[in-house]
Each structure stands twice: as structure tokens, then as C-alpha cells.
Amino acid sequence: MNDTFLRACRGEKVEYTPVWLMRQAGRYLSQYQVVRANADFLTLCKTPELAVEVTLQPVEILGVDAAILFSDILIPVESMGMRLEFSEKKGPILSEPIRNRAAVERLTIPDTEEDMPFIIEAIKILRKKLENKVPLIGFSGAPFTIATYMIEGGTSKNFVHTKKMMFQHNGVFSYLLDKLTTTVISYLSAQVKAGAQALQIFDTWAGMLAPLDYKEFALPYIKKAISELKKDGVPIIYFVNDCAGILKEVRKSGADVIGIDWRIDIGDAIKKLGKKVIVQGNLDPCALFLPREKIEERVKDILWKGEAAKGHIFNLGHGILPGTPVENAIAMVEAVHKYGKKE
Ligand code: CP3
């Protein structure tokens, strides 16, 4: 069994630096496009056979050291009672955004087995099909990031509605975040119970917060979620996009592995986090548009700097982009395996 990824997450000795890519299943793969041509995105997420098929594609094609369940961070939001759509142009749309206490009140805490059985089913099939070839990562959004989608109604630039709700200090924001924290804990715990061998929590928008606000409005909830989830015994990766300004606070999350974006030098990030930390990252997704030799140079630089940490899992600094040449993604994985060999 290739458990290199899991051992790296635990800070144990590995023969080489393991690698996987955020959003490794997706539109840059023609094989994904074939499946997607006959099913819209939400149908893909909710049909275990299809979700399984696209989850396995990058494992075969890229030779990565981990699989990540194909789904979306907004799936549990629909189960909480909000109407969710994906538009080709605008991305996710939640047509009735949460703006007051009554709207938070209406949200239910979903039961994963009952309300999202397709997640459980997909994980169970995946564990069988993977035959321990590589471990399976389950995931969720962080409470703060999920909240931004619910409050803004979709992706946002300035997060004005979210910050207005935070700054009103009338208990509505914390009421919403408490409900989301409970949801995230039970959702991820159900994924572990079904067979997920590691968890990644995506905090895509936490970097939009001033450090002081991150400390008050995001950190307490993620900390609580992680401390509860630790009881399940699988490694927890916490990815914060645009993390450079809040790394000192991010370290307090209690996660086993900190995922970092590409805007900070990984060596500097390790210095800020302390050498006991295990890091994941952090090649700029756009670097995969470079010629192969240049990709190799950047891979070597990150690998070399990553040696300063207690453990390093190679990844991009955010999701792989549509239009990325697949052969470059393969070259990146090969370079990590070649140059990341330990003595
Ligand atoms: O990593 C993987 O391969 C697993 C699949 C996965 C998807 N979304 C599939 C997806 C994961 C882990 C996510 C997480 C996710 N979803 C995040 C956090 C990670 C990040 O990128 O910051 C966020 C913010 C979302 C919300 C979301 N989903 C947006 C903003 C969009 C539209 C933008 C886009 O990339 O299309 C999506 C849609 C989405 N999620 C697609 C995929 C493959 C594209 C849908 C399609 O096929 O048309």
C-alpha cells in the first residue's frame, strides 16, 4: 500500500515527498469533460458512480499519492435548506442569501447519512476500488468560508455583507457560525466513519480578513471543529488561501498539516509557523503553464525549502486551473517524485 501521504501527514519518515493537487479532478482533464458532457455538476456530485469515476481519473492519469472525494464545499449548504445552483459563468449561486436571524433560524443541521447518502456511498465504493493503492481524502469548507457563500449568495470580491454581519455584533454571525461548525464536525466525522483516511478543510476566503478579525470571527470555530474531529483519529489538513498575513493565528487552529497558498515563499511560511509544523503546498497553479524545465526548477526550489519543516506534502498553492496542460501536471508529479527522494 502507498501510505506515503498519510505518513507525511503524521510527520513520520517517508521515502519521498508525496504529492496531490487541489481540484485534481476537473475540467482540465478531457476524461472529466466526457463525463460532465452528460451530467450537470450537481448531478455528478450526487451520483456515486459518476463521482467515483471522476475521483479516480487523476489518480490514474497523474500518478498522485492521494485521492480526494469528488464533491463540493457547498453540498452540505443545500442540505441545510438553501437552494443551490451552479452557473457556467458565475459559479455557485445561493438565491436567497442569509442576512438576518430568522434566516439562520430556518437552517437545519443535516444528518449526512440521511440527507447526503451519496457522499457515504461514494466514499465506500472508492475505498473498495482504490484497494489501498492510495489513501482517500474527505473534505469540507471551513465554517467561515461556507458562511461567506451563504451570506453573499455566491462568490464575492469585497465580502461586504459578511463583514457587515460580523461587525454588527448582534449575535447573528456567531449563531450562523455555530450552526456551521456543528454541521462541519458531523459531516466530516461521517466521512471518516464511511472510510475517509484524512480530511482537508478549505478556508478559501479567510485570507480576506484582517488578522484581528480572523482571530475573532474564523479561528474559534475552526479550532473547535478541529479539536472535535481529532477524536476520529485521521490527519487533518487546514488550507487557508492568502494565508501570509495570518499564519501566526492559523497555527493555533490545531491542524496536523497547514496548507499554504503560493503568495508566500514556503521557507518563510515554515519560519513563521515553526519547524515542528507539517506543511502542504505551494506551487502557483499558473506555474503549470511554464515549460517543463521551468516547472522542474520551481518544484526543486519548493522541495528544498520544504525540508526545513517536520513534514512536507507537495501540492499547488490553490486548485489546478481549467486549461492547464495535463502533460505539465504529470511532469510536475514526476518531478516531485524524482527530486523529492530522501537519502
Ligand atoms: O479537489 C478535487 O478534485 C475535489 C473536488 C472539489 C471541487 N470543489 C469540484 C468542483 C473540491 C475539493 C472543491 C472545493 C471547493 N468548491 C472550494 C474550496 C477550494 C477552492 O477552490 O478554494 C470552493 C470555494 C468551492 C466552491 C465552488 N465550486 C466554486 C467557486 C465553483 C465555481 C468555480 C469553478 O472552479 O468552476 C465550484 C464548481 C466546481 N467545484 C467545479 C469542480 C470540478 C467546476 C464545475 C464544473 O464542472 O463545471
Which residue, chain included where needed, has cell 482571530? 215
**Residue 310, pLDDT above cutoff 80:** yes
**13 burial class (0-12, 13-18, 19+ CB within 10 angstroms)?**
exposed
* Sign of the CA dihedral running 183, 189, 193, 198: positive
Q: What is the pLDDT of residue 343?
A: 76
Annotated active-site residue 72? The verdict is yes
Question: Beta strand pairing status for 91-94 and 84-87?
Answer: antiparallel
Report CA(201)–ligand 1 centroid distance (Å). Answer: 13
Tens of pLDDT, residue by residue over 246-273, are: 999 999 999 999 999 999 999 999 999 9
Best of 57, 72, 205 for a ligand 1 pocket test (most atoms within 8 Å of beta carbon): 72
To the nearest whole number, what is the mean pLDDT of the chain?
97
Question: Beta strand pairing status for 257-260 and 236-240?
Answer: parallel
Residue owning the nearest CA to atom 42 of ligand 1: 26
Report CA(342)–ligand 1 centroid distance (Å). Answer: 33
The cell for 177 is 457560525
Tens of pLDDT, residue by residue over 162-196, are: 999 999 999 999 999 999 999 999 999 999 999 99
Among 134, 142, 313, which residue's Cα sits nearest to residue 238?
A: 142
**Contact between 77 and 146 (Cβ < 8 Å):** yes
Annotated active-site residue 127? The verdict is no
Q: From residue 235, how far is each of 6, 139, 142, 253, 257 by CA, in Å?
A: 7, 12, 16, 13, 8
Report CA(208)–ligand 1 centroid distance (Å). Answer: 19
Q: What is the pLDDT of residue 56?
A: 98
3, 23, 221, 242: the active-site residue: 23
Pocket around ligand 1: residues whose beta carbon is below 6 Å from it?
22-27, 36, 41, 68, 70, 72-74, 86, 91-92, 139, 155, 202, 204, 241, 319
Q: What is the pLDDT of residue 1?
A: 83
